[in-house]
């Protein structure tokens, strides 16, 4: 590698990152990509040969490994094989894809839906297909990276507003020329903090300023609303979102992303979004698993209720033990540690007691707000949650994060 000179910035970036990784590995503080080797049922997993209770899962309703969903995936493989014949518009469209999109549209109470190969790609392609130069996109400061990347890729003027602050959003909208097209984007539940967007005010402001509204429901499907349909159901509002985006990789135990909305929006995306036109369709097993999962959510409503109870127990219990859990009200529960080192040390202590949690550090969260990013699911039993909280408390006392 001729080019690897000390003054080369690519080389320096690589060296900086790789030295940080080896330093953490040497101190037993490296928790990246730990392999899960088996699912043991409920919230139990085998990680690196140790049975642990999973507190880092996005499978909020505990649907990974659900027999009906597994069966649907196996039957799809038997019928169609493991791949498609290419992109949807050429030869890759299966009846399964249409059925999945109809199921999503029904679930989200929308006229139609379109699917893509990941949630990340969905946000990139949808925002950049809808907007271009001269348009405006206004985004909450804590929106997911895929939304930020979609905004940057679109070429539209990119404005951000203070996290979950509707007066700041309104100020931004007032700065935009009245003739300009404007799209407001927010997560429904924020992926690092677990708090819920002030949806009623957000909708009111978008209507007042004639702005399109796109909501990323990655962390609210299956979590919010009595039947788990998401943020509109939670606030008892219908038809409030123009572009209802979600993933098939969290509550839905598959992979992929979708947008649901009006027929004319979905038809436009089907003919204009590059990730639909130039990238292969979801594999049959994943499409079938996703479809079955939406059906299971509606057929087993106890899961949504159990998740709600578990989240309440976990958040209140951690607060009572002296931890700062920010403004979460959902299944994502940050346990604020402060420095990256404290977050790493907490993770090590807790994992050594067989509770699987992971740290999140800057730049994913602001410096000084490093945390354990714990998640609770419907697969947890109350006793497992209490035991995990006791272990986190013991670690917090040992490290000096909370008083003894
Ligand atoms: C809010 C949000 N949007 C989008 C994505 C991307 O989804 P996927 O993992 O399906 O690509 C994520 C993933 O973590 C997310 O948290």
Residues 41-94 have pLDDT tens digits of 889 999 988 999 999 999 999 999 999 999 999 999 999 999 998 898 888 899
Distance 247 CA to ligand 1 centre (A): 6
250 catalytically annotated: yes
Confidence at residue 41, expressed as pLDDT on a 0 to 100 scale: 80
Distance 45 CA to ligand 1 centre (A): 22
Q: Does residue 191 line the site of ligand 1, with CB under 6 A?
A: yes
Which residues have a Cβ under 8 Å from the Cβ of 272 and sit 6 or more positions away? 129
Confidence at residue 303, expressed as pLDDT on a 0 to 100 scale: 98
Q: Which of 66, 97, 108, 219 is catalytic?
A: 219
Contact predicate 365/371, CB 8 Å? yes
Neighbours of 89 (CB within 10 A): 13
DSSP secondary structure code for residue 156 in this structure? S
Distance 250 CA to ligand 1 centre (A): 8
Rg (CA), the chain: 22
Calpha distance 183→259 (Å, rounded): 15
Q: Does residue 254 line the site of ligand 1, with CB under 6 A?
A: no
Confidence at residue 42, expressed as pLDDT on a 0 to 100 scale: 86
Q: Please state the φ and ψ torsions of residue 167, each to the nearest 5 degrees.
A: -70, -40
pTM: 0.96
219 catalytically annotated: yes
Confidence at residue 236, expressed as pLDDT on a 0 to 100 scale: 98
Q: Does residue 146 line the site of ligand 1, with CB under 6 A?
A: yes
- Name the stretches of the chain with pLDDT < 50: none
Q: Which of 154, 191, 249, 273 is catalytic?
A: 191
Confidence at residue 3, expressed as pLDDT on a 0 to 100 scale: 57
Distance 87 CA to ligand 1 centre (A): 22
Confidence at residue 273, expressed as pLDDT on a 0 to 100 scale: 97
Confidence at residue 182, expressed as pLDDT on a 0 to 100 scale: 98
């Amino acid at each position: 590698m001729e080019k690897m000179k000390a003054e080369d910035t690519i080389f320096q970036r690589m060296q900086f990152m790789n030295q940080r990784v080896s330093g953490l590995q040497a101190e037993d503080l490296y928790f990246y990509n730990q392999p899960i080797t088996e699912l043991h049922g409920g919230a139990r997993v085998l990680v690196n040969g140790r049975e642990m209770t999973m507190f880092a899962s996005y499978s909020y309703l505990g649907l990974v490994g659900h027999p009906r969903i597994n069966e649907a995936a196996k039957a799809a493989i038997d019928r169609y094989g493991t791949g498609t014949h290419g992109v949807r518009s050429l030869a890759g469209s299966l009846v399964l894809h249409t059925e999945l999109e109809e199921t999503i549209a029904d679930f989200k109470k929308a006229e139609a839906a379109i699917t893509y190969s990941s949630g990340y790609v969905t946000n990139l392609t949808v925002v950049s297909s809808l907007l271009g130069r001269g348009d405006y996109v206004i985004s909450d400061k804590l929106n997911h990276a895929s939304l930020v990347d979609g905004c940057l890729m679109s070429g539209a003027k990119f404005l951000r507003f203070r996290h979950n602050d509707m007066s700041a959003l309104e100020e931004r909208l007032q700065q935009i020329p009245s003739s300009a097209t404007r799209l407001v984007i927010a997560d429904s539940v924020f992926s690092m903090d677990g708090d819920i967007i002030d949806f009623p005010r957000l909708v009111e402001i978008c209507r007042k300023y004639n702005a399109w509204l796109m909501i990323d429901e990655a962390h609210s499907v299956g979590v919010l609303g009595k039947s788990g349909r998401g943020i509109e159901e939670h606030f008892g509002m219908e038809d409030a979102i123009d572009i209802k985006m979600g993933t098939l990789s969290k509550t839905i135990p598959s992979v992929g992303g979708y947008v649901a909305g009006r027929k004319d929006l979905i038809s436009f995306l089907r003919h204009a979004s590059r990730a639909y036109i130039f990238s292969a369709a979801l594999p049959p097993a994943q499409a079938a698993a996703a479809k079955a999962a939406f059906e299971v959510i509606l057929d087993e409503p106890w899961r949504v209720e159990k998740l709600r109870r578990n989240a309440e127990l976990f958040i209140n219990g951690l607060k009572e033990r002296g931890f700062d859990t920010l403004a979460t009200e959902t299944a994502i529960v940050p346990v604020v540690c402060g420095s990256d080192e404290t977050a790493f040390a907490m993770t090590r202590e807790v994992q050594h007691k067989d509770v699987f949690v992971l740290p999140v550090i800057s730049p994913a969260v602001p410096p000084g707000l490093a945390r354990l990013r714990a998640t609770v699911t419907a697969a947890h039993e109350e006793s497992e949650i209490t035991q995990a909280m006791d272990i986190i408390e013991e670690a917090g006392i040992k490290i000096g994060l909370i008083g003894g």
